[in-house]
Amino acid sequence: MVQRLTEPHFALRRFPTIPGNSHPDMMFTATSLNHDGASGTIVIEKDLHEWRPQQPGEVRSPCPALNTLANHGYLPRDGKQLNHSIITRALEEGYGLSGVLSHILVIGGIALLGQAGSFALDDLARHNRIEHDASLVHDDTKARDEYAPTAPDSTLVNQFLAQAKDGHFMTIEDVAKARVWRESQCPVLNHLHAEIARGEMAIALGLFSQLDSDKQGIPVDMLRVWLSEERLPSDWKPTHTQGLLETIRTSWKIYNDMKIFEDKGDNITPDERGSRVSNVFGHRYLVSFILLTFLFVAITYWV
Contacts with ligand HEM, residue ranges (CB under 6 A)? 61-66, 87, 91, 95, 97, 105-106, 109, 124, 130-132, 135-138, 148, 200-201, 203-204
How distant, in Å, are the alpha carbons of 63, 92, 233, 248, 271 from that of 71?
12, 16, 12, 28, 43
> Could you tell me the smallest distance in angstroms from the CB atom of residue 136 to ligand HEM?
3
Nearer to ligand HEM, 69 or 268 (CB): 69
> Could you tell me the smallest distance in angstroms from the CB atom of residue 156 to ligand HEM?
7
160 in Cβ contact with 178 (< 8 Å)? yes
> Could you tell me the smallest distance in angstroms from the CB atom of residue 155 to ligand HEM?
12
Handedness of CA 196, 204, 239, 102 (dihedral sign): positive
How distant, in Å, are the alpha carbons of 68, 136, 174, 228 from that of 236?
13, 23, 23, 16
Nearer to ligand HEM, 27 or 278 (CB): 278
Nearer to ligand HEM, 46 or 126 (CB): 126
Nearer to ligand HEM, 200 or 262 (CB): 200
- What DSSP line would sit under 35-86, residue for residue? EETTTTEEEEEE-TT------TT----S-HHHHHHHHTTSS-TT--SB-HHH
> Could you tell me the smallest distance in angstroms from the CB atom of residue 261 to ligand HEM?
17
Nearer to ligand HEM, 138 or 231 (CB): 138
> Could you tell me the smallest distance in angstroms from the CB atom of residue 77 to ligand HEM?
17
> Could you tell me the smallest distance in angstroms from the CB atom of residue 3 to ligand HEM?
29
Nearer to ligand HEM, 148 or 248 (CB): 148
